Every structure is written in structure tokens, then in C-alpha cells.
Amino acid sequence: MSERYRKLTILHSNDLHGDFLAESIDKKLVGGLVYLSGYIDKVRNENPNTIYTISGDMLQGSLIDTEFKGLSTIDLMNLLGPDVVSLGNHEIDYGLAHLLFLERCAKFPIVNANLFIKNPYTRLFNSHKIFKINDMRILFIGIITEEVMNGIKLDPLLGTLVDVEDAAAEVGNICNNYRTIDIDFTVLLTHIGFEEDKHLASLLDPQWGVDLIIGGHSHTILEKPEIVNDIMIVQAGIGTDQIGHLDLTIDTEHNTFSDYQWKLVEINTKNCPKDEAMEGAIMRYKQKTDQKFGRILCKFHHLLTHPTRYQETELGNLFSDALKETLSIDLMLLGSGSIRKKQLGPILTYGDLAECMPYDDKIYLVKVSGAQLKTMVKTFIEATKDGEHGEFYQFSRGINVVYDLSSQNFTRFDFNSLPLNDEQGINIGLQKFHYENFEEFLGVKMEETLSGKGVVICTSMNDILEEYFAIANRPNAVIEERLVIK
């Protein structure tokens, strides 16, 4: 091969969400850090010109991560040894100060170009990382946008570039400052979702020289890379069940790729050797969490499901009803994305509950009018009608709504078996995250509600759920057409 052309392999993961343990599926073990690490080591040993990346959301989603507030995850990631990682929205879940602490514990670089302190203007992380490999210089830039930053954007000291257009401008800024003539290949590590990755690629000036976007957040499974504006876009689903494997031929004269092969590799015992050291580290954490979380709370009538966050579900009804009953409110609007498992039961342990509902939060009481409630429901339905972005809600018992997407109108809106009166006052419960983003998520200004502001009625949602199920007698939930979208 000519000196002009050089080989590079990029392995990539995203949205690991504390997915540490392998699962037994069809008589084989699938996923888990033990086999993911084995595959990465195998490729690195076969090809030293390999870079492994993670595009956000290492944290949240498992008992081990929750119990140790991400420190366990960083410890295990240090063993996994990514070469470069970008931030995802769940990296912020334990608070910004805690994230900065976790970064100090990480033995790998975390890059982000557009999370900063407003005054004085200071980036919180390195915007980029340059690797020297096989006589090439490879530039990685980290990008996140407002849509996945709702947890911290209300902090008056902080700022973030607020949309994909501004993110594109920041990419140009980094490239103009750091993409010198000896940079052979440029990669964006994003956590904004596949559709937004395509939008971002379309906005980038070709002269900035971005060659590849490795994305996350939307959990997209691809059959082949997408090419937009001559920029390749890839993503590797969710968790540790698979890994993206990209073999590139880099044209160092024109500073781009001349050829590539990409595949999504299933992480299992057939494809991957076992990393014994990783298994030992995981088991040390698991033994500690098993002792705490193995306690049985109750037994359901049957296994309950939450197949998608964008419709009424059994688990959504179960949890929202428990909160409404305990708090004696008129209506609980439970963030559907708070429910992190697709099924639960019939035996419910403390660990199952904590894993399914990992985001312990305050509950706020807000009083709204019937007309405002209609606006709120319409706002979140329209925002999530494509089933990819936005916040959707599970309703507690007592409400029955039918919404027609074609006419953008309600054909039914009953509350406690009667048509909802626009002047009626309704006390609703909201988690802190949704209260703090009230106007954006629900389309009503907080100061215009009947209460004018919210009041905290519970400091721990998980305390309520744990107590509720500990004394419940075979709780059950069924689909009741609380929300039907036609």
C-alpha cells in the first residue's frame, strides 16, 4: 500500500447505562463488560492501530451504578480502557459537581466542546483530543445539545450551546483552531440522537474537514452507515450487547477516508473471549449490591410491562397510581422515561424496583385549571408523536383521554368519569425534573397556573414506592385507555 494510505480501526459503543452483566439468551451469554472487554482486547492485540470510543451515557441503568453513584462505573471503565469518551445526558444525573469528581477518577479523556461556565467563559472539559497513531493524527471532538441537557441548563452559572445549529458553529470553531494541516482524520463524538446527527452533518462546512460522526442517545441500530454531506454517521444501539467495528483506509494526502468496512458485532461467547479480570471486578461490586437489594417486597398478579415510553403501559399505571394514592392528589403525571425496564415481576425485589425506577426525585404539587391540563396533554403528545424525542407522561387512574393526531383535537377528555370542566382546579403531582422544565415540556407558564408555583409534597419518590409495595397485597395494573392516541 502507498505511504499515502494508512489503516485505522475504530471500535465504538454508546449508551452503556451501567450494562455490566451478560444475559443468558438462547443458551448463550450475550452482552456484558466481561465479553465486551474481551472483544476489545482481541481486536487491539490483532491490530495495534485501534481506537475505542464511547459516545455518552456510561452511567445510570443498573443497581451497581446507582448504589455507588457512578464511581463503580468509572472504575470498571478504567479497566475497559476507552481511548476517548464524550458526555451524555446521564453523566449529569448525580449532579455537575459529582461529574467533575468522576472525571478526576477517570483514567481516560472525556471530551466536550460546548458545556461551559458563562462568566468567566470557561469550558468544563477539554473540547477535543488528538491521537497520534500509525503516523497519523486523529482529532476527536465531543458535542452535546440542549435537548439532552435539561437536567442542568436551569443553573444560572452554566451555559450550553442550545441547538444543533450552534453546535455546528462550535465544531467550526474547534476545527479552525485545532484542525491543522497535519490532522489526517476528524471525528465528532456526539450524544444528540441519530436524526440530529444527520441534521448536524448537513450543517457542517466541508472545509472544516469532519469525516465521521459516532453518535448516541437515540439507541439506533444500523444495517450500514449513513452518509450525509460526505460525512459518515454510525451508532451502535444500546448497552453492551453489541459494538460498532469500523475499518478505515485513510487518505493522508486528502485527509479523509478512501475506503471503509463497518459492521455491528454481537457481543457473545462465540465472538468474544472472556476477560477474567473484568469479571472479578464486577463480582466484587455485585456481591455488595446483592446483599442490600435482594429483599422481596411483594408479588404481582402477573408480569407487568412497559414496552415503550410513548403509550400507556401497565407499569406506568402501577407507579402513577401508587403515587397518587399515597400523596392524596388528583392526578400524577409520571415521566414515562423514568421507568427504565420493559417488564417487572411477578416477584418484586427491592433491587428490581431500584433498577426499574433509578431516578429518585422530589414530587411537586401544582394546581392547574382544566383548560391548562388540556394544553399540557396536547403539548406533550404533539412533541412526541414521532416516537423519538420529547417527554411523555403516564397518568394515574381517573382520567380518560382520546386525542386525534390528524385534527390535533381531543375527541374525549374525561376526569373522574365526567367531561373535564375548563374552569376546574386539579392538583397534579410532578417529579422535580419535569417541574423544573414545566413550560418547555408542558406548554404552560408556571406563573399562570392556579397555584402560581409548586410546593414540595415528597422529598423521595422511591421512599413512597418502596413502602407502598412492601405493604401491598398482590398489586395489579391493566391498560384502561387512560390515554389513546389515534
* pLDDT value of residue 1: 55
What is the mean pLDDT, run by run of 10 residues, along the chain of 486 residues?
A: 87 91 63 92 97 94 86 95 94 85 96 80 88 95 75 56 69 87 93 93 94 95 96 95 96 92 94 93 89 90 94 97 97 95 93 90 97 97 82 96 95 96 97 93 97 96 95 93 95
CA 237 – CA 17 distance, rounded (Å): 12
Question: Which is nearest to 379 in space by CA: 393, 369, 367?
Answer: 393
| DSSP secondary structure of 126-184 | BSEEEEEETTEEEEEEEE--GGG-TTTTT-TTEEE--SHHHHHHHHHHHHHHH--TT--
Check: CB of residue 12 under 8 Å from CB of residue 54.
yes
CA 251 – CA 410 distance, rounded (Å): 57
CA 474 – CA 345 distance, rounded (Å): 11
* pLDDT value of residue 156: 56
What sign does the dihedral 253-257-258-259 (CA atoms) show? positive
Provide the pairing of β-strand 110-111 with 84-86: parallel
Question: Which is nearest to 127 in space by CA: 148, 104, 110, 103?
Answer: 110
* pLDDT value of residue 395: 97
* pLDDT value of residue 17: 87
Question: Which is nearest to 129 in space by CA: 196, 176, 192, 174?
Answer: 174
* pLDDT value of residue 2: 64
Give how far Cα 333 sits from Cα of 320, 432, 450, 453, Å. 7, 12, 17, 16
Question: Which is nearest to 57 in space by CA: 80, 30, 77, 31?
Answer: 77
Strand partners, 23: 30
Strand partners, 110: 85
**Ordered structural domains, the chain, with CATH:** 5-287 (3.60.21.10), 294-485 (3.90.780.10)
pTM more than 0.85: no
* pLDDT value of residue 291: 83
